[in-house]
Amino acid sequence: MQLPAAKAIDMRMTARPALHAHFDPRRAALWLAVCWWVLVAAWPANGRAAPGTVSVVTIEGAIGPATAEHVRRGLDHAARDRHRLVVLAMDTPGGLDTSMRQIIKAILASEVPVAGYVSPSGARAASAGTYILYASHVAAMAPGTNLGAATPVQIGGSPQRDEGPVPGRDPAPSGSAAEKPPAGSASTRKQVNDAVAYIRGLADMRGRNAEWAERAVREAVSLPATEAQQLKVIDLVARDLQALLEQLDGRTVNVLGHDTRLETAGAAIVQHEADWRVRLLSAITDPSVALMLMMIGIYGLFFEFYNPGVGVPGVLGGICLLLALYALQLLPVNYAGLALIALGVAFMAAEAFAPSFGVLGIGGAVAFTIGAVILIDTEAPGFGIPFGLIVGLAGVSALFVAALTGMALKARRRAVVSGDEALPGSVIEVLQAGEDGAWALYAGERWRVCSDARLQPGQKVRVLSRQGLVLHVAPLDTPPQPPGG
C-alpha cells in the first residue's frame, strides 16, 4: 500500500527532529578533544621514532666456547625482540680462534646493529677482542682502555725460529724489504698471513684503518683509546654507556647491505644475562675444571669396577667423565696428553689394587704430570692449566696410592686367621675321649684329635699340627711345641 506523496513528506519532516534529539554537540566536542590528545601523545617528537631498547652483552675474561654461545644467544634475543642496538661491552685478554670466529660470524649475520665497546676504564680488547671490535658496526672505547696485540699464538709445534734463506732461491737484493724473510716456521707464517687477511677484510668492510690492523697482527702493537680514534681504528670514545648512546643517536650504519639510522637517545637498556646452560658451559670448559672432572670420572669407574654394586662411585664417575669429555672436545686438546693422563691414572690405580713396590705408582704419577702439562695445546690467555694444580693433583693421587699400598702391606704382615696356616696354636675343646680315640670341636667342625697325654672330655687343648684329617694336640698347660715336636 503506497502513501500519498504529501503524507510521506510530512512523515519525513516529523522524523528529522527525532534524529537531532540524539546529537549532543558538547559530547562530540569532548570526544574530538580526547582523540586529538591521544594522537598528539602517541606522535613522536620532532617526527622521530619512539625510543626503543638497547641490549648489553658483556664479554669478560678469556673468550671461549661459552662466550661465543653467550653472544650468539644475545644477538638472537635482540633480533627476536626487535631491539634497536646490541652493545658488546668487552674486557678481554683474547681467547680461542674458533670461538672468536663464531662471534664474528654472528655479528656479520646479525639483523640488529652491533656496537663493540671496550669498557670500563682500564679494560682492554687484546688479541681476539681486537678482531671482534673491527667486526662490529660501531667500534667505541672508554678513556683509559687499549686494544691490539692481535698476533696469533703458536699452536703446538716447536718455538718460532728463523729458518734462514731457502736453498735454491736467489737472495733478495740488498736494501729491499724482502732482504730478510719473516721469522718463524712456515706454519707460523701461514697463521699470521691468514690473520692479516682476515682482519684487513673486516677493516675494509667497516671502513677502518687496515694498515694499523695489519701491524697489530704482525708486530703485536697496541693503542690507547684516544690514539685509536685519531688513527680511525675506532669510531668513538665515550666515558660510559649513556654517553655512547647519545653519540650514536642519529648515526647511520650498514646492516646486511641496508643503511640503518640508529635511534638510541633515551632508549631503555637491558642487560642480557647468561642463562644456566651458558654458565655451566663456562664452568666445565675451564681446562682446570675439565682435568679434575676427568680424574674424578676415571677414579670413580675404577672403584666401581673393583667393588661392584656400590653404585655411587660408578654413577658419579660416569657423569663427571662425560662432562669432561664434552668439555675437552670443545677445547684445543692434545690427544697425546689426554692418553698420558689416562695411562697415568690407570697405573696409579693398578698400584693400589696390585702393589708392585712403587713401580706402577711412580710411573703413573710421571705420565699424569707430563700429560697434564701438554693437555691443552695452546698459549691462548686463560686456557692454560696452572702447573701448581698439576703438581697438586699428581701429589694427591700419589699420596692416595701410597696410603692404599701401605694398608695392603700391613695386611700382608698380619697373622693368618683362616685355613691350614691358622690351625697351629689354636685352642680347642675336647668333646669326647674313649678307646676309639678323641674328638674335638674347631670352627664349628668335629675333628679327630690325638695326643701323647690322656685327654678328658671338656679339656682345653692346643693344636700342634695337622696330619690329614687328624689334629695333633697337647693339653693347654703343656708348653707349646713346634710342629712334629
Q: Is 89 helix (H, G, I), strand (E, B) or coil?
A: strand
Q: How many CA atoms lie within 13 A of 341 on its CB side?
A: 27
Distances (CA, A) of 282 to 57, 76, 100, 278, 288: 15, 19, 15, 6, 12
Q: Which domains does the chain have, with CATH numbers?
A: 49-155+185-275 (3.90.226.10), 285-413 (no CATH), 420-475 (2.40.50.140)
Distance between CA atoms of residues 155 and 330, nearest Å = 16
Parallel, antiparallel, or unpaired: how do β-strands 470-475 and 445-450 relate? Answer: parallel
Spatial CB neighbours of 339, under 8 Å, sequence gap ≥ 6 = 371
The CA distance from 173 to 194, in Å, is 27
At residue 162, the pLDDT reads 42
Instruction: Enter the C-alpha cell of residue 400.
Output: 692416595
Residue 484 has pLDDT above 80, yes or no: no
Among 15-29, 39-53, 331-345, 348-362, the range with the most confident prediction by mean pLDDT is: 331-345
Q: What mean pLDDT comes out for the span 15-34? A: 60
Q: How does residue 32 score in pLDDT terms, banded at 50, 70 and 90?
A: confident
| pLDDT tens-digit readout, 165-186 | 434 434 444 333 333 444 556 8
Cβ atoms of residues 233 and 89 within 8 Å: no
The predicted-structure confidence for 179-213, as pLDDT tens digits, reads as follows: 344 455 687 888 899 999 999 999 999 999 999 99
Distance CA 17, CA 298 (A): 97
Query: Is this structure's pTM higher than 0.85?
Result: no
Of the ranges 19-33, 49-63, 150-164, the best mean pLDDT one: 49-63
> By the 8 A CB rule, do 78 and 268 touch?
no
Q: What does the pLDDT look like over 363-406, one tens digit per residue?
A: 888 888 888 888 876 666 667 788 888 888 888 877 777 776 67
In the chain, the percentage of residues whose pLDDT exceeds 70 is 75
Give yes or no for a contact between 199 and 191, defined as CB atoms under 8 angstroms apart. Answer: no
**Per-residue pLDDT tens for 320-352?**
989 998 888 888 888 888 889 888 888 877 776
Give the pLDDT of residue 271.
93
| pLDDT tens digits for range 145-170 | 999 988 886 443 333 444 444 344 34
